[in-house]
Structure 1
Amino acid sequence: MSVLDVRKNRLRALPLELCSMQLSLLDLTDNELPSLPPQLGLMTSLRKLPLDGNPLKSIRREVLAGPTPRLLSWLRDKIPDDMGSMGAQRGDQVHTGNVFGGDSSTLAADAAEKMKLGGSQRQELSFPGSGLTHIPPEVWEAGEAGLQSLDVTGNKLSSIDPQDLSRCRELVTLQAGRNALQVWPLPLGASSLPSLVRLCVSFNPIRSAPPGAFASCAATLRVLDLSGVPAAGCLPSGCLSSLRQLEELLMSQASISSFPMEIIDNEPLPALRVLKLSGNQMTDLPQGVTALVRLEELDVSNNDLTNVPPHIGLMTNLRSLQLDGNRLRSIRRPVLERGTKALLEYLRDRIPA
């Protein structure tokens, strides 16, 4: 299931189990929700989250009115560092079918074994916030049996063995954000992960990536989340430019000091639709960003920008341009508050004749 429509009910709370679903649309319009669980931000597959008609007082209006990825990022930032043993236990029970709880690794192994033996109709394993310190061997055996989605978000993993990961030839989605990974997890062999489309390693203390970091999935990767990863600002040459199918690049809060020119120089990424660079230390936004002709969302909020190239106003596909939190001298606050359409018009009017 990718769509869940619960409009016009009287929901006052959302179950945490909902946060582990791979939804693209969650419609919560016209309910009685006073708040949202921060774990909802872990649903990186979510494209639309309508919330009109709810008494949400804990979320700023501009966040609610902005694009869904911005709201999800805001929610993720509210997740406590220790996600709680009760929450972890609850997650284990949901995904393994063990209603009595138990050791997280044992339960993960049990779920993987069931999938491998055909006890699960869906080829996915999901253990967010389960307290895992390592991925049991049974998960990698499930990888050889056709595992398509693995979610280990919000655990205590210090490493993922690239050799084990390369056993997952049919893996489409890997969610490994908010762990303690220090070493790059992907194998380096060309096309060794030939099905991988979505990769999230956000908010892990990975400080460097090897040359050819994405060689295993360069031909297929469409969504890449490196938010909060120190290595995002110092990727070896050729890593990003090799991702010719990439549609979404998320690199917020990654201590990036300059725009990643590799995505626009020579051969700009032809499929890129979403670019998130908020919360960094960039001082310049190059005019070359206009070469990303399919770009729909550009978020450079909360950087150190003082100017914005007026030619960005010519980007006709752009439906969300986030500039808040910069030291902009040429754009008045009222213009920013009028939204993307007015902002693009303002920029177009300032293109030199």
Structure 2
Amino acid sequence: MSRFRKADKADSLAGFRTEKTEPTVPYGLLKAARKSGQLNLSGRGLTEVPQNVYRLNVDTPEEAQQNVSFGASDRWWEQTDLTKLLLSSNLLTQLSDDIRLLSGLTTLDLHDNQLSSLPSAVGELQELQQLRLGHNKLTSLPVEVCTLNNLRSLTVQQNLLEILPEELGQLRNLTELDLSNNHLKSLPPGLGGLTCLQKLNLSDNKLSCLPDCLAQLKNVKILDCSRNQLADIPASLSEMLALEQLYLRHNKLRLFPQLPAPALKDLYVGNNQIEQLETEQLSCLAAISLLELRDNKIKSLPDQMTLLSTLTRLDLTNNDITTLPASLSLLPSLKVLLLEGNPLRGIRRDLLTKGTNELLKYLRGRIKEEPERPDEGNTAMTLPSQASVNVHTIKTLKLLAYSEKQADVIPDELFDAAVDQSVTTVNFCKNQLTSIPARLVEFSSSLSDINLGFNKLTCCSPDICKLLQLIHIDLRNNQLCDLPPDMKNLTKLRSIILSYNRFKSFPEVLYQISSLEIVLLGNNQVGEVDPSRLMKLMHLSTLDLSNNDLLNIPPELGLCSSLRCLSLEGNPFRTPRAAIVAKGTDAVLEYLRSRIPT
């Protein structure tokens, strides 16, 4: 009977009740973290951080209670403190004060959660170098964050911040600060104290002006102020002596900013209300390479555009320009000129669609030619083949042009006419060339730009490796599948266009040309790329790998911090998803970084 009485006291609903259990982390992960000092709990649906994670450094591990082993892999007493904790892409709404127990952390990743605040205990993580807080619901930053003296990177993008603590300027070692996509209306004057800062992102806020304290940021190379409410840019910004890239897109600028920043290479002022450009404003841009002025209200360009001698790309799309100054064609480095959406007069629509080279060629033709002085040694006879040689173009523009002739060889008369002329540009595109003309080596001391696009080249002659002054090479629309190894000697090469060829892998030699800024490899058959070697191309800003055969994108590609434009569409990979690729380069790189295994 006693058996039945015990049964009566049993809870008959026990099987239907759910007890609240603390979220757990697989013991194997914790054990591995004690050895490596790194713990990755990203994307596990956690609503709170398990207590045994906070206590990882202080609690004695289970194996210490079970046995004492002297095996090299089980020396629990030799465990290391946790230095890297990744908690991104979970459902965390708060962080416990117990975070202070992980005092050895150098990296804390909390991005993509639902945090509305941070505990003041974060200030006790004095070893912290990287703090990722993006994509949360933070309305403020605790002042204690400003005491993290070793912090190098602070990312707080996509939150609800309206103000920043004045003490933020105390983060003397900070090199990267991302405050984009918040509700900031002003910046604290103390921000000027971030003297080591190299990258500052203020885009997608509500800033109506920029404080003069930014002038104190002497080491900032990249400043992004896009999508704010800026009506003008303070002249003090020109004191940012290291500034190379400035983004001012989607603001309320009516005047072109006059910024004599000596290192400024890329200036983006598209989608504003700028109506005119003045010569004085342009003369400040001594090192400018890329100038974006699209979607403004510009009506004309100054005749003195030749002041922009370093300009390679000019975007004037969707303005009110009716005429172009012929001097535009004399810009020695200009490679891309975009004019779609302007009410241009006197320029046929089909000419605009033929590309930059043809447009510049047309503008050069409008320059009034000076009569040639007869050379005393000339004979009265002119050979028929010489009649097609434009000696004026060669002498004045240092341009050797023979394009759209459908020729399989370049006539010797053309080279003969250019002897001793220090030719800088060669345009042999749209012919039937099967090899690179051997006589190009005659201009090895001066030639900086060569266009051999739209030919039938099956291999790239080693002779091209002797043109040591080359800066730009255009080999698009050929039949190339490899490049000669000695191209590594082209130490000045900044851009190479290899679109529409037959490359099955990223050309090996390109990994060795550290000066490269632009690599266009779209519409080939490239199956893989090595991100660890790409990272060594410190100047690489544009990489086009669209429409290739990439089955997967290595997450480490996200560490190529110099990239500003990465094109991956049209490849058969599954991740990142098309929706992420469509968001642009920054979103893709951030996604890839979040996928890097620890």
Q: TM-score when scaled to structure 2?
A: 0.39
- Note if 1:25 corresponds to 2:314: yes
Deviation of the 1:156 alpha carbon: 2.6
Structure 1 residue 167, shift from structure 2 partner: 2.2
1:68 is aligned to: none
Cα 1:263–1:31 change in 2 (3 A) is same
Cα gap change, 1:115 to 1:173, in 2 (>3 Å): farther
Please give the per-residue CA displacement for 1:14-39, whole angstroms capped at 9, x wherever unaligned. Answer: xxxxxxxx985352433499xxxxxx
Out of 470, 474, 477, which is 1:225 matched to?
Answer: 474
Gaps of 5+ in 2: 1-278, 283-290, 301-310, 323-331, 344-351, 375-383
SS across alignment from 2:426: strand
Amino acid at match of 1:29: N
The answer as to whether partners of 1:169 and 1:195 remain within 8 angstroms in 2 is: no
Per-residue CA shift, 1:203-232, capped at 9, x if unaligned?
A: 1012233333331x22x10000111122x3
Structure 2: which amino acid aligns with 1:180?
Answer: Q
Is contact 1:307–1:330 with CA below 8 Å preserved after alignment?
yes
Q: Which residue of 2 aligns with 1:117?
A: 373
CA distance 1:296–1:179, shift in 2 (3 Å): same
Counterparts in 2 of 1:349 and 1:271: CA distance versus 1, 3 Å = same
Q: Given the alignment, which residue of 478, 501, 523 partners 1:254?
A: 501
Partner of 2:274: none
Return the letter of the residue paired with 2:471.
Answer: R
User: Is the contact made by 2:483 and 2:509 (CA closer than 8 Å) also made in structure 1?
Assistant: no
What is aligned with 2:527?
A: 283
The equivalent residue for 2:193 is none
Amino acid at match of 2:450: L
- 1:50 deviates by 6.5
Q: Which residue does the alignment assign to 2:489?
A: 242
SS at match of 2:496: strand
Q: CA deviation at 1:202?
A: 0.3
1:309/1:76 CA distance change after superposition, 3 Å: farther
Q: What is the alpha-carbon distance in structure 2 between the residues aligned to residue 96 and residue 227 of structure 1?
A: 29
Please state whether the residue corresponding to 1:136 is helix, strand or coil.
Answer: helix
Alignment CA distance shift 1:44-1:308 (3 Å): farther
User: In structure 2, how many angstroms separate the alpha carbons of the residues matched to 1:158 and 1:184?
Assistant: 10
TM-score of the pair, normalised by structure 1:
0.63
Q: C-alpha separation between the residues in 1 aligned to 2:546 and 2:596? A: 22
1:115 & 1:241 partners in 2: Cα distance?
Answer: 43
* Distance in 1 (alpha carbons) for counterparts of 2:482 and 2:534: 19
State the 1:145 CA deviation: 5.0
Equivalent runs, 1:1-353 vs 2, <5 Å: 8=297, 24-25=313-314, 27-31=316-320, 45-47=334-336, 49=338, 75=353, 94=365, 117=373, 136=386, 139=389, 148-161=398-411, 165=415, 167=419, 169-187=421-439, 189=441, 192-215=443-466, 217-218=467-468, 220-230=469-479, 232-238=480-486, 240-264=487-511, 268-287=512-531, 288-353=533-598
Tell me by how many angstroms 1:317 deviates. Answer: 1.7
State the shift of 1:162 in Å: 6.8
SS in 2 for 1:233: coil
By how many angstroms is 1:323 displaced? 0.2
Q: Distance in 2 between matches of 1:283 and 1:93?
A: 42
What is aligned with 1:131? none
Structure 2 counterpart of 1:171, one-letter code: V
CA distance in 2, matches of 1:222, 1:214: 12
Identity %: 24
* Shift of residue 285, structure 1, vs aligned partner: 1.4
1:91 to 1:335, Cα distance in 2 relative to 1, 3 A: closer
Q: Distance in 1 between matches of 2:335 and 2:542?
A: 15
Per the alignment, residue 80 of structure 1 pairs with: none
Write the deviation string for residues 147-184 of structure 1: whole angstroms up to 9, x where unpaired. Answer: 51233332333212579537254111112211222231
Match of 1:226, as an amino acid? L
Tell me, in whole angstroms, the C-alpha distance in 2 between the residues paired with 1:278 and 1:92: 29
Which residue type is aligned with residue 45 of structure 1?
L
Equivalent residues of 2:470, 2:493 under 8 A apart: yes
Give me the whole-angstrom Cα distance separating, in 1, the residues matched to 2:493 and 2:364: 35
CA distance in 1, matches of 2:364, 2:488: 42
Q: Partners of 2:337 and 2:586 in 1: how far apart?
A: 20
- Whether contact under 8 Å (2:438, 2:463) holds in the other structure is no
> Contact 2:482–2:507 (CA<8 Å) still a contact in 1?
no
* 1:273–1:297 Cα contact (<8 Å) kept: yes
1:296-341 CA distances to partner (integer Å, 9 max, x unpaired)? 0000000010112222211222110000000012211111011001
Look up the equivalent residue of 2:527 and give its one-letter code.
Answer: T
Query: How big is the shift at 1:259?
Result: 1.0
Q: Aligned-residue CA RMSD in angstroms? A: 4.3
Q: Measure the CA separation in 2 of the matches of 1:291 and 1:348.
A: 17
Tell me how far 1:196 sits from its aligned partner. Answer: 0.9
Note the residue ranges of structure 1 that are not aligned, 5 or more in a row: 12-21, 34-42, 55-73, 78-82, 98-110, 119-133
8 Å Cα contact 2:484/2:509 also seen in 1:
no
Matched residue type, 2:458: R
CA contact (8 A) 2:315 2:338 kept: yes
Is the 1:186–1:214 contact (alpha carbons within 8 Å) kept by the matching residues of 2?
no
SS in 1 for 2:558: helix
Deviations 1:103-148 (A, max 9, x none): xxxxxxxx8xx67539xxxxxxxxxxxxxxx973773866885651
In 1, Cα distance between equivalents of 2:405 and 2:333: 16
SS at match of 1:257: coil
3-state DSSP class of the match of 1:313?
Answer: helix
Q: Tell me, in whole angstroms, the C-alpha distance in 1 between the residues paired with 2:526 and 2:385.
A: 36
